[in-house]
Structure 1
Amino acid sequence: MSGLGIAREFFGLAKQASTNADLVQALACISTSMDFDYFALTHHVDFASAEQAGMRLHNYPDDWVAWFDARRLGVSDPVHRASQATSIGFTWQRVPDLIRLTKTDLTVLEHARTSGIGDGFTVPAHVPGEATGSCSFAVAPGRSMPVDNLPLAQLAGAFAFEAARRINGSRNFDVHTPTLTERQRDCVLWMARGKTDWEIARILGLSQETVTQHLKQARERYDVPKRSVLAVRALFDGLISFSDIFRR
């Protein structure tokens, strides 16, 4: 089957999937079709912590998963950290180019190999307001990466992660999400940039009292007591973005 045919078949299976088991089956099929041995779709969280929850679908060896969780590597795993430095899929050979590897990182990568996991390809997943995540495809040690299938792996990984978010109810849209006026949003944005009410008033051509009122009303709409929480909620809902705040 051609790459386009494989993609269409997987997209159909993933779109129809209504449970994690359905999606695992679809991932197993496309992994085999792309000549990979393993797949792992996961949020980058500490799964050993009762306070954290996230998606994780995989067919990795059990001993690797037990070793990984015992050391609480969900956040610090080098591949997971490297995925935060790019917006497109990368082979694990590129990890040293994306982050500075520590001795612990080298130990983690070596233990993965001894557990039966060789090279891999990871597709990052960044959704504001959620834990970062990724979808990886890997081969056993000694096997060559199916480099011709990496563009297909990029598409499959991104589509699979969205399917998992749909199945698991990540960030369901709430029709009752507060909305702000344009002026309220402007004030929240400049507040998030660290400006005082007086400075915001000078920037927007308003009185300081008006700025204070806009921010007070924005907090009331979100029902939050502090401005710092207001900024976080505005980021979470996509009302403002990190690029808006940290303009270069």
Structure 2
Amino acid sequence: MTRNLRRYLIEMTNAPSIEEMWALHTEVMAEYGFDRLLYGFTNFRTQHSLGDPNDFLILTNHAKEYMDGFIRQGFFSDAPMVRWALENDGAESWRRIAEIAAGNDVSPNMMKVIEFNRAMDVTAGYTISFASVSPRSKGAIALTGKAGLSQEDVDGIWAEYGTDIIVMNNVAHLKILNLPFHVTGRSLTKRQLEALRWVGDGKTMQDIATIMGLTQATVEKHLRLARDALDVETTAQAVLKAAFQNQMYLVDR
């Protein structure tokens, strides 16, 4: 028995952290037959690239072996459904992959990704590409069917529950966009965040030093460490990146 949609929406919208909402979402999607999920989002997309993978927000419950190949070895850049997601919004059956593989225009790199997925039993599922709010951002989620399910089985699940599944994933995506997250593996300290907030408010270095009760040199040190943690060159870029990650104005719990 799948979870009631209203119950899911209440639990999801009340989730206080990405960790808790992701645990809930993976549990519910497994109830529908999708036990391996891969969510990706970037705010740094360019015309010809998804940007630096270090700036991606990745959420998954796939095995480490799969992620090592798909993300760390760069297979994602040639994955058929990733390319589809970049050019489309909405949901699409992985039946499209079989159609691409049977065609004459499939590249060697794309075929390598298809064969990798087959070897890892990632063969039946759906991809949902979320509508972007800007040309620099893109988010999508790949829902992999449980082992033993064929694409025909998955399409049957989608025919019955697809609308609810799309609603749930849209809500999960919007929830993620409103929760703080880290993509560099290095969190900002409270002092670094406070200094960035005052810069964002237009304060000078001297103003910030007075407000924070520090020397100007110490403020500059906090800002330098914030730039290092966020892997950017300027403080303005650090403010922008911290804002993109919803870290600028957190409420202490």
Q: Secondary structure at the match of 1:104?
A: helix
Distance 1:18 1:76, change over 3 A: farther
Q: Which residue of 1 aligns with 2:136?
A: 130
**Structure 2 counterpart of 1:70, from 72, 80, 92:** 72
Which structure is richer in relative contact order (CA contacts within 8 A, separation 6 or more)? Answer: 2
1:84 and 1:77 map into 2 onto residues whose CA distance is 11
54-63 or 132-141: bigger deviation: 132-141
Q: In the TM superposition, what are the counterparts of 1:205-220 in structure 2 within 5 Å? A: none
1:112 and 1:48 map into 2 onto residues whose CA distance is 23
Q: Which residue of 2 aligns with 1:105?
A: 110
Contact 2:78–2:113, Cα closer than 8 Å, also in 1:
no
2:78 and 2:27 map into 1 onto residues whose CA distance is 29
Contact 2:90–2:131, Cα closer than 8 Å, also in 1:
no
1:125 and 1:152 map into 2 onto residues whose CA distance is 15
67-76 or 152-161: bigger deviation: 67-76
Distance 1:34 1:49, change over 3 A: same
Superimposed CA distance per residue, residues 34-81 of structure 1 (whole angstroms, 9 cap, x where no aligned partner)? 12121121126799957x412211111210100112322344422111
Letter matched to residue 123 of structure 1: I
Gaps of 5+ in 1: 171-175, 177-248
Figure out how many residues of one structure are paired with residues of the other and give that number. 171
Distance 1:113 1:60, change over 3 A: same
Letter matched to residue 39 of structure 1: L
- Please report the TM-score for the alignment, with normalisation by the length of structure 2: 0.57
Letter matched to residue 118 of structure 1: T
| 1:81 and 2:86 aligned | no
Distance 1:38 1:49, change over 3 A: same
**Structure 2 counterpart of 1:31, from 29, 32, 36:** 29
Q: Secondary structure at the match of 2:179?
A: helix
Q: Secondary structure at the match of 1:168?
A: coil
- Please report the TM-score for the alignment, with normalisation by the length of structure 1: 0.58
Superimposed CA distance per residue, residues 73-125 of structure 1 (whole angstroms, 9 cap, x where no aligned partner)? 34442211111332210111124668963222122122112113221111102
Distance 1:11 1:43, change over 3 A: same
Q: Which residue of 2 aligns with 1:155?
A: 167
1:137 and 1:108 map into 2 onto residues whose CA distance is 17
Contact 1:41–1:135, Cα closer than 8 Å, also in 2:
yes
Q: Which runs of 4+ in 1 moved over 4 A?
A: 44-50, 95-100
Contact 1:48–1:70, Cα closer than 8 Å, also in 2:
no
Distance 1:82 1:70, change over 3 A: same
Superimposed CA distance per residue, residues 1-47 of structure 1 (whole angstroms, 9 cap, x where no aligned partner)? 46xx5322221222112212112111122112212121121126799
Contact 2:79–2:113, Cα closer than 8 Å, also in 1:
yes
Q: Which residue of 1 aligns with 2:178?
A: 166
Q: Secondary structure at the match of 1:110?
A: helix
Percent identity, please: 12
Q: Which residue of 2 aligns with 1:115?
A: 120
Letter matched to residue 128 of structure 2: V
| 1:58 and 2:21 aligned | no
Q: Which residue of 2 aligns with 1:244?
A: none
In the TM superposition, residue 129 of structure 1 has moved relative to its aligned partner by: 4.2
Q: Secondary structure at the match of 2:143?
A: strand
Q: Which residue of 1 aligns with 2:244?
A: none
